[in-house]
Amino acid sequence: MPIRLQSRAVRGVLVAAAVVTGAGLAVAGRAVAQQQNFDNVQIDTVKVRDNVYMLVGAGGNTTVFTGDEGIMVVDTQFAPLSTKILNAIRAISQGPIRYVVSTHMHGDHIGGNEALSKAGRTRAGGNVVGDLGAGATGQAAIIAHENVLTRLSAPPAAGQQAVPFALWPTETFFGKKREFLFNGEAVQIIHEPKAHTDGDSVVFFRKSDVIATGDLFTTVMYPFIDVANGGSITGEIDALNAILDITVASNVNEGGTMVIPGHGRLSDEQDVIEYRDMATIVRDRIKEYAKRGMTLDQVKAKKPTLDFDPRYGTDTGFWTTSMFIETVYKEMVALNPPAAPAPARGRGRTQNQKGSGE
Amino acid sequence: MIRICALPAAVAVAVLAWASPAFAQADMDGTWQPRYHEDQPERIPGPELKDYLGLPINDAARQFADSWDPGRIALPEEQCRVHVSPYIYRGPTNLRIWEEKHPKTQDVVALKHYHSTYEQTRTIYMDGRPHPGPNAAHTWMGFSTGRWDGDMLIIETTHLKQGWVRRNGVPMSDRAHMTEYWVRNGDLLTQIVMLFDPVYLTEPLVKSTEFVRSPRELPAQTWLWVCDPVVEIATRAEGAVPNYLPGEHPFEEEFDRRHGIPHVATNGGAATMYPEFQDVVKQAPKPAPLPPPSRGATRVTGPGQQQQQGK
């Protein structure tokens, strides 16, 4: 089943990634991609709207947006899957691929950047072509936040390979967002700082009313906070709330804006709400325990994720429940260092009553 | 007081017995209204906090419910949250059932259930189509397919959204699936639900609900449920999600003490579904009763409420 393969592949990538830092994560993704046999992976094409599709294979979900002007692809999974991804795209549309967007820098989302970009063309003319030659139009632009390029182009750590130039973004943006009209539709690429990484973007197709979230939202695991690449639980929760600021459900909290997660099944606002609630509640608990001066072991003994573990937790792989708790704990201690050992507080609500914006 | 859910096998036998062709009818079209005599306190006034009686929940579900703050559904983004199909039939609802037939063959393509609650239309496909794949979206009503076993309608439902098995915070996950058995006896319609949830239940949860056929159409407004979310608490920070720390719920013992039921029963679990559990209840120490409410008080004060009020 595609979803099982996806899960195994993702975890494989990130098991390797867990032992490296910085751009090594993308390299690790390539290394695992080289080792993994993708022969049996099937691409499941899920129609989201008439002109928006979700492709599920191995690695992060791919979004395909089509129209008169061509195709935009958001995230490209692993390099060995590029032919299958391309075939799935061609089953949807024969139009030219104009843009590839990378929601962040992890290897299971950028592996196919080279192949899919080279399968497309950039609209360019005038001085661009005059200065750079016809090669300037010979591939689709790869768009990402500048932090993605910064991470991917960083010198590799000792013993690791550099991320190939062909996977890097060709066009970056800084600041809050990049937006343009494509296929008669406003497309917004919105940066969410310091969340899953420091280079995350969500892609909002305004007319189609679809959001591709990258790994800011998944339906298969606890939020992966890649601290080594600038991630934080605070930014992750802020990003989930920012997604909810965009989504509009029907009057019964179903449908409306559709959400394509980084991994997992097609979703809508309510699914993001459940995930946001989970992340916020776990953060609130650990924050309160840290405030009381509890050690990490004491916090783990309180089982702050027990109610969500059967749904999102795991004791094996790259991102265990224990690692999630530890990551949140360290951030909460750093943000709110305990003043002094204090007696246990009385019963009552957690600090979420004061808001979640810290 | 303990709500006992029969063993699935016993339920199936009972349903099959009721489904005797001599008395049953397969035509379920019409307007139906539920009878509330069964589990009335849970269904109409609404369940009290920390009442997990008769629910085969695991520790994860218990912690989820123990942390539940009803203020959560006052958040604008959660005000229009719908009861999932395994729960919606239990609440106050008007139910309209009709068949959708293929215009050329007159075969029944689907059965439709319209609920006045949240204006939900549920489709039960009868044409043998498969359920969607694992990457399809989930909905409140889920994806349902049905088949007839004699005059008994059997429905299988998957692709449900996360909801609850009791609306005091006891959760149902989006990995749950449901099997229903529907039987009509004259103007009485019986639904037996078996809910399987690998995330939050250790055994299937079995419930039955009765409906009575309405002899006349209901006024139009009784079929509507308009929900327009608004900010109800202006001072609440955006993004806040009300919740209590596990084990520190201010009304931890209120349900036990108000009704004099041992905690071993109110805490739920599969054992509390079975008749022999009554022996456990009889032997367990009863909780101390709550003091009478003071004059003018609107709520009985729980052990943590003073602090909560002081915040």
* Nearest-by-CA chain A residue for B69: A349
Beta bridge partners of A212: A203, A260
How many CB atoms are closer than 10 A to CB B147?
A: 12
**Given a cut of 80, is residue A15 above it in pLDDT?**
no
Domain ranges of chain A: 2-280, 282-352
The distance between the two most distant Cα atoms of chain B, rounded to a whole number of Å, is 70
> Is B97:B113 a contact under the CB 8 Å cutoff?
yes
> Is B191:B180 a contact under the CB 8 Å cutoff?
yes
For tokens 């509890």, name the residue. A294
Gap between the Cα atoms of B212 and A241, Å rounded: 44
Q: What is the pLDDT of residue A137?
A: 77
Identity of the amino acid at A251: N
CA gyration radius for chain A?
Answer: 21
Beta bridge partners of B170: B166
Would you give the DSSP letter of residue A307?
T
Residues 6+ apart with CB under 8 A from A52: A63, A64, A65, A66, A205, A208, A210, A258
Tokens of A189: 């690429």
Mean pLDDT value of segment A334-338: 82
Model confidence pLDDT, tens digit, residues B197-232: 999 999 999 999 999 999 988 889 989 988 888 999
Residue among A56, A251, A267 whose CB faces B80 most closely? A251
Residue B162 pLDDT grade (very low, low, confident, very high; cuts 50, 70, 90): very high
Are B239 and A304 an interchain contact pair (Cβ–Cβ within 8 Å)?
no
Cα A165 to Cα A35, A124, A153: the distances in Å are 21, 21, 8
Residue among B63, B227, B308 whose CB faces A251 most closely? B227
Q: Which residues of A touch B162 (CB under 8 A)?
A: 270-271, 274
DSSP H or E run through A61? none
CA A307 from centroid of its chain's CA atoms: 24
Is B239 part of the contact surface with chain A (CB cutoff 8 Å)? yes
To the nearest whole number, what is the mean pLDDT of chain B? 87
Mean pLDDT value of segment A200-224: 98
Beta bridge partners of B185: B24, B188
Would you give the DSSP letter of residue A349?
B
> Which segment of A296-305, B22-31, B259-268 scores lowest on mean pLDDT?
B22-31
Residue B126 pLDDT grade (very low, low, confident, very high; cuts 50, 70, 90): very high
Residue among B136, B236, B240 whose CB faces A265 most closely? B136
3-state secondary structure chain B: CCCCCCCHHHHHHHHHHHCCCCCECCCCCEEEEEECCCCHHHHCCCCCCCCCCCCCECHHHHHHHHCECHHHHHCHHHCCCCCCHHHHCCCCCCEEEEEEECCCCCCEEEEEEEECHHHEEEEEECCCCCCCCCCCCCECCCEEEEEEECCEEEEEEECECCEEEECCCEEECCCCEEEEEEEEECCEEEEEEEEECCCCECCCEEEEEEEEECCCCCCHHHHCCCCCCCCCCCCCCCCCCCEECCCCCCCCCHHHHHHCCCHHHHCCCHHHHCCCHHHHHHHCCCCCCCCCCCCCCCCCCCCCHHHHHHC
Residue among B60, B226, B244 whose CB faces A310 most closely? B60
Does residue A266 sit in helix, strand or coil? coil
Model confidence pLDDT, tens digit, residues A88-118: 999 999 999 999 999 999 999 999 999 999 9
Tokens of B271: 């054992």
Mean pLDDT value of segment A291-313: 97
Q: What is the pLDDT of residue A79?
A: 95
Would you give the DSSP letter of residue A155?
P
Model confidence pLDDT, tens digit, residues A154-179: 999 888 889 999 999 999 999 999 99
Residue A342 pLDDT grade (very low, low, confident, very high; cuts 50, 70, 90): low
DSSP H or E run through A112? none
Are A303 and B246 an interchain contact pair (Cβ–Cβ within 8 Å)?
yes
Q: Which residues of B touch A246 (CB under 8 A)?
A: none
Is B120 part of the contact surface with chain A (CB cutoff 8 Å)? yes
Q: What is the pLDDT of residue B304?
A: 37
> Which segment of A223-232, A275-284, B31-40, B106-115 scores lowest on mean pLDDT?
B31-40
CATH number assigned to the domain covering A2-280? 3.60.15.10
Gap between the Cα atoms of B206 and B179, Å rounded: 10
Q: Which of B174, B133, B232 is nearest to A254 (CA)?
A: B174
CA distance A83 to chain B (A): 21
CA distance B61 to chain A (A): 6
Is B118 part of the contact surface with chain A (CB cutoff 8 Å)? yes
Mean pLDDT value of segment B97-124: 95
Are A237 and B239 an interchain contact pair (Cβ–Cβ within 8 Å)?
yes
Is B72 part of the contact surface with chain A (CB cutoff 8 Å)? yes
**Given a cut of 90, is residue B25 above it in pLDDT?**
no
Mean pLDDT value of segment A268-289: 97
Interface A-B, measured as beta-carbon pairs within 8 A, has a size of 159
Residue B5 pLDDT grade (very low, low, confident, very high; cuts 50, 70, 90): very low
* Nearest-by-CA chain A residue for B138: A267
DSSP H or E run through A317? none
Percent of chain A scoring above 90 in pLDDT: 75
Residue A293 pLDDT grade (very low, low, confident, very high; cuts 50, 70, 90): very high
Are B136 and A266 an interchain contact pair (Cβ–Cβ within 8 Å)?
yes
**Model ipTM value:** 0.88
Is B64 part of the contact surface with chain A (CB cutoff 8 Å)? yes
Identity of the amino acid at A77: Q
Beta bridge partners of B156: B145, B179
Gap between the Cα atoms of A45 and A56, Å rounded: 7
Is B214 part of the contact surface with chain A (CB cutoff 8 Å)? no
Q: What is the pTM of this model?
A: 0.88
Is B164 part of the contact surface with chain A (CB cutoff 8 Å)? no
Residue among A253, A309, A356 whose CB faces B237 most closely? A356
Percent of chain A scoring above 70 in pLDDT: 82
Mean pLDDT value of segment B8-33: 61
Tokens of A62: 């791919």
Q: Which residues of B touch A355 (CB under 8 A)?
A: 236-240
Hey, which residues 216-235 in chain B have their CB within 8 Å of chain A? Answer: 226-228
To the nearest whole number, what is the mean pLDDT of chain A? 88
Q: What is the pLDDT of residue B10?
A: 54
Q: Which residues of B touch A284 (CB under 8 A)?
A: 241, 243
CA distance B238 to chain A (A): 7
Q: What is the pLDDT of residue A251?
A: 73
Are B311 and A2 an interchain contact pair (Cβ–Cβ within 8 Å)?
no
Q: What is the pLDDT of residue A340?
A: 62
Q: Are strands A177-182 and A185-192 parallel, antiparallel or unpaired?
A: antiparallel
Residue A17 pLDDT grade (very low, low, confident, very high; cuts 50, 70, 90): very low
Max avg pLDDT among A6-10, A318-322, A334-338: A318-322
Residue among A3, A254, A349 whose CB faces B82 most closely? A254
> Is A107:A30 a contact under the CB 8 Å cutoff?
yes
Domain ranges of chain B: 11-27+35-47+81-129+140-222
Residue B2 pLDDT grade (very low, low, confident, very high; cuts 50, 70, 90): very low
Gap between the Cα atoms of A236 and A193, Å rounded: 8
Interface probe, candidates A62, A233, A352, chain B, greatest B C-beta count within 10 A: A352
Q: Which residues of B touch A356 (CB under 8 A)?
A: 237, 239-241
Residues 6+ apart with CB under 8 A from B221: none
Q: What is the pLDDT of residue B293?
A: 72
> Is A235:A327 a contact under the CB 8 Å cutoff?
no
Interface probe, candidates B243, B252, B311, chain A, greatest A C-beta count within 10 A: B243
Model confidence pLDDT, tens digit, residues B250-276: 888 999 999 999 999 999 999 999 999
CA distance A299 to chain B (A): 12
Are B238 and A241 an interchain contact pair (Cβ–Cβ within 8 Å)?
yes
Q: Are strands A210-212 and A258-260 parallel, antiparallel or unpaired?
A: parallel
